[in-house]
Chain A
Amino acid sequence: MTDKHLLLIDDDDEFTQLLSQYLKPQGYTIDIANDGEMGLAKATSNTHYDLILLDVMLPKLDGFEVLKKLRASHLTPVLMLTAKGDDYDKILGLEIGADDYLAKPFNHRELSARIKALVRRMAMLPSNSAQQNLKLGDVELSPSTQQVHCGGQLLELTGTEFAILQLLMINQGKLVSKQDISEKVLGRKLAAFDRSIDMHVSNLRKKLAAHSPEEKIKTLRGAGYQYLSAACLS
């Protein structure tokens, strides 16, 4: 298996050095950018990255701006690094299209686990059924190409949104708890009152609704989500 390619965008030079030193033995190839502009340039270059670690406080272009511009063309998974205690708006980050966030300083094991989850998420999904193309109503999901078509139109989904949709479609008609989604897609336990999953599902819904009038994902308050079965959809 080839090394996974990561991009670190953080202005703390020593931190990025240590981080790359820490991650290399775990089988990652690391690129480093120390400001927002450079980060964005690298992220949108021809190099394919499996994950971008993006700090919020950056010189020249802050993390939110980088993410916004990146999402205009790329769906690369992004893990936002926030600073503890700052009034960082997690909701905003997720709304713009971040896949997850982690507050600095963090335990190295935690970081390692999150990166693993985001990069190798696809492998964690049930493999057999996952490899088959899924077609429910006018939504078509192809794991091999990582593409989703809705009403014949290609949807631009982030990796996390894709993974959530896939999980829900596999379990169509059944309730999938937020806890399950968090563990399978983000690789972490859902903290109390964490709204990350809600934000991702809300983004997903918006994208689906742009091409199809029917409601496809039902919220079961406090419990989780359900992809409505074909019978209900008619």
Chain B
Amino acid sequence: MSFLTRLNPARSLFFRVFLWFWLATFLIFMSSTWLVQQLDSGVKYRPLKPNQAKNLHQVARKFQYQIDKHDVDLNKYAFQMSKRNRFWLVLVDAETSKVIFGLKKEQLKTRQLLEQFDEESSALMIETQGKVYIGPSSIVKNQKAYLLYTANNQPGGSLRVIRHEYPGLFLFFLILFSGGLCYLFVRSLLKPVIQLQRASRRMAKGDLAARVGSASNRLDEIGQLGRDFNLMSEKVEILLNGQKRLLADISHELRSPLARLQLSIGIAQQQPLELHSTDSQLALDRIEKEANQIESMIAQVLMLSKLDSQEAVLNKQNISFEQLMLPIINDANFEAKQRGKNIQYNAQVSCDLFVDAQLLTSAIENVIRNAIHYSNDNIQVSVIQYKKTIVWSIKDDGKGMEEQQLSRVFEPFYRSSTARDRNSGGVGLGLAIAYRAVKQHQGDLTARNIDNGGLEVSISIPIDSISQGIIS
């Protein structure tokens, strides 16, 4: 199907250009052939070369000899001779000026041509329609004179022969040949455009490192376009990376003053209680709480930027599925009970995993905690192994999400409720971190609304990438 779409000229620049070129080449060829034919009668007369004359003379003498000696039948002997040699014979009755052997009825023009000569004519070389006729030379049988021609294909003219004898086949080859040429030509013409298109598509998909390759080395307009594209994508990459790095850098820099702040709080809280008023003690506790909040935010931002970087190091280890899930489910049950909600857990997986357990645990925990937060009463956690993938499905019975928000929930600092109430927990980094953690395991994290309300978040991780350590 996709192949057919590619051939659709309305959709493919390549095929459109190709078709036009092909048609143009073909038309130009046909018209020039037609013109040449119009300007050229197609018959050429030339004097004989000595060896041709000698050859003709020998053939005629041999023929005459056979007639005189054995009284052979003209047609039969001419047929034999044509078979035995590289040339064939044409015989014309000199009296009636009719071809009696060697030409088909359809070869009307050649017949007329050869029938115009008589016994008196001197021998010539006659080129027409891809054949060469040499003659006439006269032979006599029963006092009747006949004119003899030797006939040959024009040298190097097998193409001509094809053209004359099988015009359909000739046309077919012509179309094929010009098609091949046009294909190569158009391909070389459009290759850089296709390179450009591929690079921009990769870029659109988020691969900021996408660059146009060899096409940008060209000196023409396309090369200019390629260089401009590369320049543009470089700037975009620098900008976006800069933005990410800025966030990480700020967080890095905030660590030292925050460490000092924490200690200062500690020093203040060490003062004997009677030096504090209750208010200032409360304020100190509040300061400590906020400092802790900032600390965990910084930790999250740094974790996020670490997972975003290419060289994120996973601390993978062998762990059984049970070992991974049991603590998560225990914690989740505890949390759900405190909120008066209920978790149903159902897992049909029993294999060993090779994963960064800490990272994956935090990812799964985060999704479950989110589900607990937004659910009304029930949360369903089910894990199945589907072919070569383990799929965690976490469903809640809450309100779900607006469709356009679904694709954005994994962006850093995105929270579905526009009012950023603290109660919803965190700052919108948890799911972003979970998403990247799963991606680092070559998996995928998706969210969708369930038909009868609620949200389903699926984590799928290919088994290949998480169980390769078992054998070793």
Residues from chain B with Cβ under 8 Å of A83 in the complex: 252, 255
Residues from chain B with Cβ under 8 Å of A108 in the complex: 262-263, 265-266, 269
Q: Are B358 and A193 in contact (CB under 8 A)?
A: yes
Residues from chain A with Cβ under 8 Å of B358 in the complex: 192-193
Tell me whether A85 and B259 are in contact in the complex, defined as CB-CB below 8 angstroms, given that A18-B264, A22-B267, A108-B266 are known contacts: no
Stretch at the interface among B102-110, B211-219, B298-306, B457-465: B298-306
Stretch at the interface among A99-107, A117-125, A143-151: A99-107
**Shortest CB distance B87–A (Å):** 89
**Shortest CB distance A144–B (Å):** 34
Tell me whether A85 and B251 are in contact in the complex, defined as CB-CB below 8 angstroms, given that A12-B256, A15-B263, A105-B298 are known contacts: yes
**Shortest CB distance A224–B (Å):** 14
Interface residue count on the B side (C-beta < 8 Å): 34
Q: Name the residue of chain B whose CB is nearest to the CB of A26.
A: B270
Tell me whether A109 and B298 are in contact in the complex, defined as CB-CB below 8 angstroms, given that A85-B252, A192-B358 are known contacts: no
Residues from chain B with Cβ under 8 Å of A107 in the complex: 262, 288, 292, 295
Q: Are B361 and A19 in contact (CB under 8 A)?
A: no
Q: Does A84 contact B (CB under 8 A)?
A: yes
Q: Are A104 and B263 in contact (CB under 8 A)?
A: no
Q: Are B357 and A84 in contact (CB under 8 A)?
A: no
Most interface-central of B265, B266, B358 (chain A CB within 10 A): B266
**Shortest CB distance A11–B (Å):** 10
Number of A-B contacts (CB under 8 A): 76
Q: Are B270 and A193 in contact (CB under 8 A)?
A: no
Q: Per a CB cutoff under 8 Å, which of B248, B260, B298, B302 touches A14?
A: B260
Per-residue CB contact flags for chain A residues 15-35 toward chain B (1 = under 8 Å, else 0) read 100110110011000000000
Q: Name the residue of chain A whose CB is nearest to the CB of B301.
A: A85
Residues from chain A with Cβ under 8 Å of B265 in the complex: 108
**Shortest CB distance B348–A (Å):** 22
**Shortest CB distance A122–B (Å):** 26
Chain A 90-119 interface residues, beta-carbon cutoff 8 Å to B: 103-109, 112
Q: Does B313 contact A (CB under 8 A)?
A: yes
Q: Are A19 and B251 in contact (CB under 8 A)?
A: no
Q: Are A22 and B298 in contact (CB under 8 A)?
A: no
Q: Are A104 and B266 in contact (CB under 8 A)?
A: no
Q: Are A21 and B357 in contact (CB under 8 A)?
A: no
**Shortest CB distance A124–B (Å):** 23
Per-residue CB contact flags for chain B residues 240-280 toward chain A (1 = under 8 Å, else 0) read 00000000100110011011111111110110000000000
Q: Are A192 and B259 in contact (CB under 8 A)?
A: no
Per-residue CB contact flags for chain B residues 321-359 toward chain A (1 = under 8 Å, else 0) read 001000100000000000000000000000000000110
Q: Per a CB cutoff under 8 Å, which of B260, B266, B270 touches A15?
A: B260
Q: Name the residue of chain B whose CB is nearest to the CB of A21.
A: B267
Residues from chain A with Cβ under 8 Å of B266 in the complex: 22, 108-109, 112
* Docked CA distance A72–B105 (Å): 113
Q: Are A192 and B263 in contact (CB under 8 A)?
A: no
Residues from chain A with Cβ under 8 Å of B258 in the complex: 105
Q: Are A22 and B270 in contact (CB under 8 A)?
A: yes
Q: Per a CB cutoff under 8 Å, which of A18, A84, A103, A193 touches B260?
A: A18
**Shortest CB distance A83–B (Å):** 6
Q: Are B267 and A18 in contact (CB under 8 A)?
A: yes
Q: Name the residue of chain A whose CB is nearest to the CB of B317.
A: A193
* Docked CA distance A174–B313 (Å): 37
Residues from chain B with Cβ under 8 Å of A12 in the complex: 256, 259-260
Residues from chain B with Cβ under 8 Å of A26 in the complex: 270
* Docked CA distance A22–B261 (Å): 12
**Shortest CB distance A162–B (Å):** 28
Per-residue CB contact flags for chain A residues 126-170 toward chain B (1 = under 8 Å, else 0) read 000000000000000000000000000000000000000000000
* Docked CA distance A108–B301 (Å): 22
Tell me whether A84 and B299 are in contact in the complex, defined as CB-CB below 8 angstroms, given that A15-B263, A107-B292 are known contacts: yes
Q: Besides the contacts A15-B260, A103-B299, what 12 more A-B pairs have beta carbons closer than 8 Å?
A: A15-B256, A18-B264, A18-B267, A21-B267, A84-B302, A85-B301, A104-B256, A105-B258, A105-B261, A106-B259, A106-B295, A108-B263
The 27 sampled A-B contact pairs (Cβ below 8 Å) are A12-B260, A14-B260, A15-B256, A15-B260, A15-B263, A18-B260, A18-B264, A21-B263, A22-B270, A25-B270, A83-B255, A84-B299, A85-B251, A85-B252, A85-B298, A85-B302, A87-B313, A103-B299, A105-B256, A105-B262, A106-B262, A107-B262, A107-B295, A108-B269, A109-B266, A192-B327, A193-B317
Taking Cβ atoms with an 8 Å cutoff, the residues of A that contact B are 12, 14-15, 18-19, 21-22, 25-26, 83-85, 87, 103-109, 112, 192-193, 222
The 10 closest A-B pairs by CB, nearest first: A85-B302, A108-B266, A105-B259, A18-B263, A105-B258, A193-B358, A104-B259, A193-B357, A22-B266, A22-B267
